[in-house]
Chain A
Amino acid sequence: MAAPLELSCWGGGWGLPSIHSESLVVMAYAKFSGAPLKVNVIDNTWRGSRGDVPILTTEDNIVSQPAKILNFLRKQKYNADYELSAKQGADTLAYIALLEEKLLPAVLHTFWVESENYFSVTKPWFASRIPFPLSLILPGRMSKGALTRILLTRGQPPLYHLREVEAQIYRDAKECLNLLSNRLGTSQFFFGDTPSTLDAYVFGFLAPLYKVRFPKVQLQEHLKQLSNLCRFCDDILNSYFRLTLGDG
């Protein structure tokens, strides 16, 4: 009998079970693979460290980071990729790398670096779920972490200044969205009729971008023009997360 699996993660809003990409990836994968997860939403009474969220706790293990959590679930026989061929498994890795390199910087920028978005939406949302006095410090630290990550991974010479990097990362993100849309086509999921790891990752990255209401929305506008990706997100929300939408 499987030990009870508990997932601690950031909560939801705007119709989503979580607005944090990595938490959403794990939640989606759990739904797809049938893993019985008990979801603990972090609020300001939660005592653990928030740096590593999402965190999976079982009787004897604590696992953090989405890739490791998914691996752990697979070892527990909750495998959403069971029906994939070897080539499709390879494609999964490649597309996940594409998401992390091309889309993630722009998502981080939209949430954490773009000042209008950060001060009017992101910071208040996270601060309300963190106890005082950490609520004064932690969001700022997360924002700085996002900025550092963007500059270190995309700020190759001669693009050292944020403004120049910004143009490049949004261009890359739009290209990535177009590529995903081309790849998805008219299918329901990326590989056939059942959702797999890649669908969890794409959903995790796209859904917050799609649903959260931001003042500065250039990437959101672009995403909304790609109707098959929007349909993809809505389908997953309706089929797998309908019962939990009330927690939003």
Chain B
Amino acid sequence: MSLVAEALVSQIAATEPWPENATLYQQLKGEQILLSDNAASLAVQLSDVDVSKTESDIPGVVFRPFCKCVICLSKWFVGQMQNICLHLGHSLSDGLDEVQKAEMKAYMELVNNMLLTAELYLQWCDEATVGEITHARYGSPYPWPLNHILAYQKQWEVKRKMKAIGWGNKTLDQVLEDVDQCCQALSQRLGTQPYFFNKQPTELDALVFGHLYTILTTQLTNDELSEKVKNYSNLLAFCRRIEQHFFEDRGKGSSSIRLS
């Protein structure tokens, strides 16, 4: 939307109280949702957003091939985590100083740059995963032949994007190398602290949790991605801690992390 419209929307959103019936729409957990979308959805749930229910079908919308994680407030849909955080009106990172905020944003970009791109690569550019898991899952809510068409279209889009940012020629090993580097950086930044910035979780913690938890708990054709994450014990402890504090306490108890 244009600059003016967006400014207006965030003005309005900041002053309205958070509505009672905010709904988080995401794809079906068992059958449809993909790695990167699950990560985004978890990150949102963690960010202190009060959602009364999570649904998987936006009523009245038939084709939503682009649908990732979308929140329906009383009047409008808000997509993507950054915009959702904007609508919260307050920020989890209010207590940070300028330099820390810069660091937080930088690390969030690192996660988006490396982890998210690696997840997309694995889902759409690794032939084994694509054939066995992604195609079926992505196309599951649609009738034939739409399921195939949409899946191929999405695959083509993702491959184009990979080529544009220079990941087109990377092999799976190189991608896993990059994931390892990213996890190493996150692990070093986290150190022995409970959260990335002191004692309070911030948007960065939400984002990192979303991605790492999803990588650790999603079954793919090979386990190399989750093995890379498991090498870093403080990251595992971090995920477990957040899962216990925020998800089990609220009674949303999803399956605990399989750490074998």
Contacts and interface: CB of A to CB of B under 8 A. Distances in A.
B112 interface: yes
Contact of B102 (A86, A156, A158, A183): A183
Interface in B1-56: 1-3
B188 interface: yes
Interface stretch (A28-36, A37-45, A90-98, A212-220): A90-98
B109 A153 contact: no
A48 B33 CA distance: 46
Contact of B110 (A86, A93, A185): A93
Nearest to A102: B109
A182 B110 contact: no
A76 interface: no
B185 A95 contact: no
Given A90-B189, A91-B106, A98-B109, A152 B164 contact: yes
Contacts of A158: 1
A98 B164 contact: no
A142 interface: no
Contacts of A157: 66, 79
Contacts of B181: 93
A101 B109 contact: yes
Contacts of A167: 2-3
B182 interface: yes
Interface in A91-133: 91, 93-95, 97-98, 100-102
Contact of A86 (B1, B80, B114, B188): B188
Interface in A168-183: 179-180, 182-183
- Name the interface size band of chain B: 20 to 34
Given A97-B110, A153-B161, A182 B102 contact: yes
B180 to A, nearest CB: 12
A164 interface: yes
B164 A90 contact: no
Of B2, B105, B106, B189, the most chain A CB neighbours within 10 A belong to B106
A65 interface: yes
B2 A87 contact: no
A94 B161 CA distance: 21
A153 B164 contact: yes
Contacts of B161: 152-153
A244 B192 CA distance: 47
B177 to A, nearest CB: 11
Secondary structure at the B interface, as helix, strand, loop or mixed, is helix
Interface in B129-183: 160-161, 164-166, 181-182
B112 A101 contact: yes
A89 B109 contact: no
Nearest to B181: A93
A152 B160 contact: yes
A87 B188 contact: yes
A90 B109 contact: no
A194 interface: no
B1 A93 contact: no
A174 to B, nearest CB: 13
A164 B185 contact: no
B81 to A, nearest CB: 12
A141 interface: no
A167 B2 CA distance: 8
Contact of B2 (A93, A156, A164): A164
A91 B189 contact: yes
B188 A90 contact: yes
A191 to B, nearest CB: 13
A149 B164 contact: yes
Contacts of A185: 99
A164 B106 contact: no
A148 interface: yes
B184 A90 contact: yes
A164 B5 CA distance: 11
Given A89-B185, A93-B182, A164 B1 contact: yes
A101 B113 contact: yes
Interface string B101-122: 1110111011011100000000
Contacts of A94: 103, 106-107, 109-110, 185, 189
14 contacts: A65-B166, A86-B188, A87-B188, A93-B110, A97-B112, A98-B106, A98-B109, A101-B109, A101-B112, A148-B160, A179-B106, A180-B102, A182-B102, A183-B103
Interface of B: 1-3, 66, 79-80, 98-99, 101-103, 105-107, 109-110, 112-114, 160-161, 164-166, 181-182, 184-186, 188-189, 191
